[in-house]
Amino acid sequence: MKITILAVAAALLLSACAGTGTSTGMAASARLELYRANAGEPVSNFRLVRNFRWTPLDEQAVAVWTGANSGYLLELRARCTGLTFASDITISNSGDRVVARFDSVQLRGGFGTGQQAPCRIWTIRPLDLRQINDAKREMRDAQTVERAPDVTEAQ
């Protein structure tokens, strides 16, 4: 019984490591492009809520959700080394307003996030979360399999 549980846990761990690290199975570059394609025109600021959710898209972009139906694509001025490994971030703000080109993302915890300088937010774009979720639902993971050796091409 213990061996079966360990085998299943090991298989799950290996499949997670073999994947792209995203919940949709998308490559990081494709995921970033999905968010960019479903982001509106840049805005100067947005209201940050206390319990926001976030996900890194690469080392120069992060998605922030401020509610069930509102989110923003934050693109940073330069690479923010360690962003994809950070376990937590803080976002500077004034009066709960985050302003492009003034505020920053600060990494907290995770591999390579030690004494990193804050990463300046360069652009803020509202996200169309319905379009993003619809696109994610339409995507399915697929696997290839070797054809049986006795199968021949149909004429």
pLDDT of residue 10: 34
pLDDT cut 70: percent of the chain above it: 75
Mean pLDDT, residues 77-103:
95
Hunting for tokens 């993003």 — which residue is that?
A: 132
The pLDDT score that the predictor gives to residue 135 is 86
Give the pLDDT score at 142. 62
Q: Does the pLDDT of residue 139 top 60, yes or no?
A: yes
Q: What is the mean pLDDT of the chain?
A: 81
Report field, pTM of the whole predicted structure over 0.75: no
Query: Rg (Cα) of the chain, in Å, rounded?
Result: 20
Per-residue confidence (pLDDT) for residue 23, from 0 to 100: 45
Mean pLDDT on 102-108? 95
Residues in the chain: 155
Relative orientation angle of helices 28-37 and 129-138, to the nearest 10 degrees? 140
Q: 139: closest CA among 54, 23, 32? A: 23
pLDDT computed for residue 141 by the predictor = 62
